[in-house]
Chain A
Amino acid sequence: MDYLKPVPEPTPESKPYWDALNEGRLMLQSCGACGKVRHYPRPLCDACFSFDVRWINAKGTGTIHSWTVTHHAFNPGFKAELPYVLVTVDLAEGVRMQAPLRQADASTLKPGLPVRLLIESARDGLALPAFALAAKA
């Protein structure tokens, strides 16, 4: 079946991120000079302007910062999933990312609810992040 969703076009700086997802891990950039964690992947540390990067394994835990529930198909590849929830997540490492929230009742969502990472196979050679609500600690 044709894959209709947009696909990422990795850059030299972001390739390790996508490669790691494909291997089932979420990795984040940590500055090789000052240690500041940044996301989404980009070339330069905005604190010390170093290009050096050390990739670290993310714990895969976080909390909900905000969300939206999409009802309109802006892309035919997502039509079968409507409506779907996208969550903005505060990761334990202090950075944020956005990804779908699986199997959740959107009416129960609140900022601060804990979530855990899922890594889903989208198609051959492409794995994408998603989240699920985590049992409260």
Chain B
Amino acid sequence: MSLREKGVITGIGETAYSRASGKSVLALQLEASLAAIADAGLTPKDIDGIIVYGSTVAEDFITNFGIADLRFSAVTPMGGASSVAAVQCAIAAISAGICNHVLIPLGRNGSSGTRIGTRVQQMPQFRTIGEFEMPVGAIAPAQLYAPMARRHMELYGTTSRHLAEIAVNTRKHALLNGRGMMTKPLTVEEHQASRMISDPLRLFDCSLESDGGCAVVVSAAERARDMKQRPVLVMGVAEGHPDSPSAITQRPDLTRLGLAKAAPRAFKMAGVSHADIDVAEVYDCFTYIVLCQLEDMGFCKKGEGGPFVMDGTIAIDGKLPLNTHGGLLSQAHMAGINHVVELTRQLRGAAGKAQVKDAEIGLVTGYGDMGDGSIAIMRRA
């Protein structure tokens, strides 16, 4: 049995994104969830499955939504790969007949609360790093991922200028989207002059730390036909874990992420090829991680990600329009559920100024922890 087209994204919702929400994480998640549920044309009591992230639990939603009989709850603890992995988990549960409408809420005070850049010390996925690498000075994701980028540069000649292209392009899209925390254009020169965080990653290679909430509703395909929005069908979905998932240092190939294992499975399930992808929302905690994922998905060969992103390829009107909402780099760090929201908008034809012309099929990826990956390929109905 395949999960192909068994699940549909029926509802999307976002709060405002800011540096200080003044609200609790639960309130942010409930606000985004209500927006997503209304967008789907459902009421909170229709939700019969929930996949939570971070500090909230399914019980919070049962209590606040008055859900009488929640049939499915789960967590997909893969850091930034969690959101898209949750889409797979939701469709698996739907496909097994357990539930019909699964809510995937995400919300955080990633700026005003526990800072995203340093919160990893508290996560069990980082236990190995916590014992053996944090004491010697490798504390934050930027430091843990920088050696992957450096290795890529040494092996393939990738440069900071290539990474700048991703940052600048993403900022342009954030301005088109209009919901982003970043509201001014970014130039290549500004990127290249930005302070070094952990070489080769500069300030503008790093994602934002954000407060806000963002949620999606995944529904059973047979239910979605009569629902409020034009259905966006999930054609292929997969998660993948890299070699040495708990410590990047021991990974045989530092330049190969879990997505390299997941992507072929998702493409096979979807029955589409790379040329069919009209728009891509690729997890962008750091510019380099975008470049590496483009290679790991097979949009170009390993090592050719730098040249691939140059010359307008990833612009709205380019061959592979990328992160059309501004991503984690320039819209907000919502751990990639905002990427799912944006892909849904694109395939509904509702992405406003950032709309990719005739977007029929697109993909979204997640990346998290030490290299976990997830991917969903979707099409408009």
- Chain A residue at minimal CB-CB distance from B197: A72
User: Nearest A residue to B133 by beta-carbon distance?
Assistant: A98
With an 8 A cutoff between CB atoms, is A86 at the interface?
A: yes
Tell me if B143 is interfacial: C-beta within 8 Å of chain A.
Answer: yes
Q: Binary interface profile of A, 103-137, with partner B (CB < 8 Å = 1, else 0)?
A: 00010001100000000001000101110000000
Closest chain B CB from A112 CB (angstroms)? 9
Interface size for A (C-beta < 8 A) is 42
Within 8 A of B (CB), among A49-69: 65-69
Chain B residues with Cβ below 8 Å from A96 are 249-250
Q: Which of A9, A99, A106 contacts B199 (CB 8 A)?
A: A106
A65 to B199, CA, bound (A): 15
B148 close to chain A: CB less than 8 A: yes
Which residues of the other chain, B, contact A7 by a CB distance below 8 angstroms? 135
The answer to whether B135 touches A74 (Cβ under 8 A) is no
Given contacts A14-B131, A39-B250, A111-B154, contact A68 B139 (CB under 8 A): no
A-B contact count (CB 8 A): 113
**Nearest chain A residue, comparing its CB with the CB of B128:** A40
Contacts A70-B137, A129-B136 given; does A40 touch B247 at CB 8 Å = yes
Q: Which residues of B contact A69 (CB under 8 A)?
A: 196, 198-199
Bound complex: CA A98 to CA B148 (Å): 13
Determine if A10 is an interface residue (Cβ-Cβ < 8 Å).
yes
- Residue pair A70, B143 in contact (C-beta under 8 Å): yes
Contact (A111, B131) CB under 8 Å given A84-B137, A86-B143, A98-B136: no
Within 8 Å by CB of B196, from A10, A71, A84, A129, lies A71
Residues of chain B lying within 8 A (CB to CB) of residue A83: 196
B139: chain A residues at CB < 8 Å are 6, 74-75, 78
- Assembled-state Cα–Cα distance A11/B132 (Å): 12
Interface status of B117 (Cβ within 8 A of chain A)? yes
In the complex, what's the smallest C-beta–C-beta distance from A32 to chain B, in angstroms?
20
Q: With A7-B135, A71-B197, A99-B136 given, can you name 13 additional A-B contacts, CB distance below 8 Å?
A: A5-B135, A9-B130, A9-B131, A67-B147, A68-B143, A70-B199, A72-B197, A74-B142, A86-B136, A88-B151, A96-B249, A98-B132, A98-B133
The 8 closest A-B pairs by CB, nearest first: A68-B146, A66-B147, A69-B199, A66-B151, A74-B140, A74-B139, A6-B134, A40-B132
Q: Which residues does B use to contact A, with CB under 8 Å?
A: 117-118, 121, 128, 130-140, 142-143, 146-148, 150-151, 154-155, 195-201, 247, 249-250, 254
